[in-house]
Amino acid sequence: MKNIFLLTIVSVFLFFNCTPKQETLDETFRKINTEVLDNSRAYETLEEATKTIGHRLTGSEEGEKAEEYTFNLLKSYGMNVAYQPFEVESWSRGDIDVKIGSRNQLKPTPAVTLAHSPVEAEVTAEIIDMGNGVDADYEAKPEAVKGKIALVYIGTLPNSPQGTPGLHRSEKTALATKYGAIGIIIINQVDGGVLLTGTASVTGSLIPIPAVCIGKEDGMALKETLAKTKQYSSIKMTNQSGLINARNVIATIEGSEFPEEKIIVGGHLDSWDLATGAIDNGIGSFAVLDMARTFSALKLQPKRTVQFIMFMGEEEGLLGSRHLVNEAVANGTINQIKYVMNQDMSGNPIGFGTGGRSEAEAFFTTTGAQIQSIDSTYTNQLSKGAGLHSDHQPFMLQGIPYTSPMSNLDRSIYGCYHSDCDDFDLVNKEHMVNNVRFSSMMLYALANADALPSQKLKDAETKVFLEANNLKLKLQIGGDWRWED
């Protein structure tokens, strides 16, 4: 009996002294911090890709090279990697010729085609200034643009009425089309004659009218002239469109306790073709790649499965993320996706967003305070709104909660958004390293949490959520509002 008692005591002693001590969240955060500071490759791999691949337009030869580059890179980090192929209609630009002036004296004007404009278009018509190009502008004069070319500002003009909605260029194009315009000219808001591209389609399909962007200086001068006299424009363009094959790239770390529950961190790998897309979205997608490297290097295996995803086709209508969500709905796995972290033009985070979910504020504030205790560069701010037009959107429409880093980037960088100056010389290495550090910590906290900060909403709850965040009108314009009033 004595021997049994002694054996029990020894067994208990060995259990408590030989069972590995569970690592605290702070200890994991500090390991992540050290690993990224010592070994991050985000900046270097982005530099290599911009030099050897160039732009990453979906469906192009360069886009295919980018898919293969990131697949092989993740493989080299020891990751379980797979392609998710999809076939969609894609678009690429051809020739453009824009002239503006009086009826008998049209002069060439620098312009760039907005994506999903027709394969071929040739129109000449009077230009009508429609201000911000929002509903109120057209409701004030509903017949004004019928058979004409609408001129709208890409943002919100100074001295606009309070509450003027900030519509996307695609939504402004949809409204111009709805009110009968046969073309649309969008004025960029960046100084220096910078020309912006991007999709003018809310659906990712071809639009029926040509859409172009002109520089701020030319556009504002045109507005002044239109206040005094009629002006006309001729727009001629050719483009290409057709079915293409593209691939999302997905690396997976299986969860240790809840492998059927997925936390996704994604960034769109594709870019427009005017430059290398180093900022939009090289800094986001290549940060995701380095987050994957960090998790693999530290052999991190949180409770939930983590998927690191390179989405293709975001720029042309969220094509890759829509495909993933649609496939998950079709095969019944959509409820496995518990949270999404979207990395789009993310750099130098100072906080995270709650994606409009107030119940998540405590989690992000508390976890952020732990990150801040490691590096006060992270100031633990909180963004509380929900928005559209990036890869979180298809998930959000299914009621799935999301978060994104709040980026403290130099505002001048945004002047090169979707333009021919979005090149690697804009990238700040320290900012990329900060993003990988802080986002990896927050990602691990989400994936390893005892209870997630937000849960998937039911369909009726999703409708109420979107209405509360003033997204109904934009989703209706884009054809993504599936509820009947």
Are 289 and 394 contained in the same domain? yes
Q: Does the structure show a pLDDT above 50 at 14?
A: no
SS3 state at 128: strand
Could you give the C-alpha distances from 160 to 67, 155, 157, in angstroms and in order? 43, 11, 6
Pair (332, 405) in one structural domain: yes
In a domain, 117, yes or no: yes
Residue 175 lies in a domain: yes
Asked if 404 and 375 sit in the same domain, the reply is yes
> Per-residue pLDDT for 410 more than 90?
no
Q: Is the pTM of this model over 0.85?
A: yes
Confidence (pLDDT) at 326:
98
Pair 162, 41 in one domain: no
pLDDT for position 413: 87
What range does the domain containing 64 cover?
A: 25-88+243-477
Buried b (16+ CB within 10 A) or exposed e, 422-439: bbbebbbeebbbbbbbbb
Q: What is the pLDDT of residue 19?
A: 52
Per-residue model confidence as pLDDT tens digits over 240-252: 999 989 999 999 9
Judgement on whether residues 265 and 397 belong to the same structural domain of the protein: yes
Q: Is residue 209 part of a domain?
A: yes
pLDDT tens per residue across span 142-190: 999 999 999 999 999 999 999 999 999 999 999 999 999 999 999 999 9
Averaged over 336-354, what is the pLDDT?
97
* Co-location of 302 and 422 in the same domain: yes
Q: Domain count for the chain, please give it.
A: 2
Instruction: Give 61-100 pLDDT, tens digit per residue.
Output: 999 999 999 999 999 999 999 999 999 888 999 999 999 9
State the Cα–Cα distance between residues 443 and 445, nearest whole angstrom: 5
Handedness of CA 273, 188, 222, 129 (dihedral sign): positive
Same domain, 84 and 172: no
User: Is 473 within a domain?
Assistant: yes
On whether both 221 and 324 belong to a single domain, the answer is no
> pLDDT band at residue 10, thresholds of 50, 70 and 90?
very low
- Which one of 229, 257, 274 terminates a domain? 229
Question: Three-class SS of residue 352?
Answer: strand
Calculate what percentage of the chain has a pLDDT beyond 70.
Answer: 96
Which DSSP symbol is given to 199? B
In a domain, residue 237? The reply is no
191 lies in the same domain as 247: no
CB 261 within 8 A of CB 336: yes
Single out the residue of 412, 406, 359 nearest to residue 387, CA to CA: 406
Domain boundary among 180, 195, 229: 229
Which CATH number fits the domain that encloses residue 250?
A: 3.40.630.10
Cα 224 from Cα 318, distance rounded (Å): 36
In this structure, are 249 and 340 located in the same domain?
A: yes
- CATH number of 127's domain: 3.50.30.30
* Residue 382 in domain: yes
How many H helices and E strands in the chain? 14, 15
Measured distance CA(370)–CA(361) in Å, rounded: 14
Q: Which of 229, 257, 290 is the last residue of a domain?
A: 229
263-271: average pLDDT: 98
Q: Which residue has the higher pLDDT, 485 or 458?
A: 458
Same domain, 191 and 309: no
Instruction: Please indicate, yes or no, whether residues 125 and 207 belong to a single structural domain of this protein.
Output: yes
Residue 431 lies inside a defined structural domain of this protein: yes
Which among 338, 312, 315 has a CA at the least distance from the CA of 324? 312
DSSP reduced 3-state for 69? helix
Rounded distance, CA 139 to CA 66, Å?
45
Inside any domain, residue 459: yes
Read off the pLDDT of residues 373-393 as tens digits, 9 standing for 90 and up: 999 999 999 999 999 999 999
Q: Among 93-97, 277-281, 357-361, 474-478, which is the least confidently predicted range?
A: 474-478
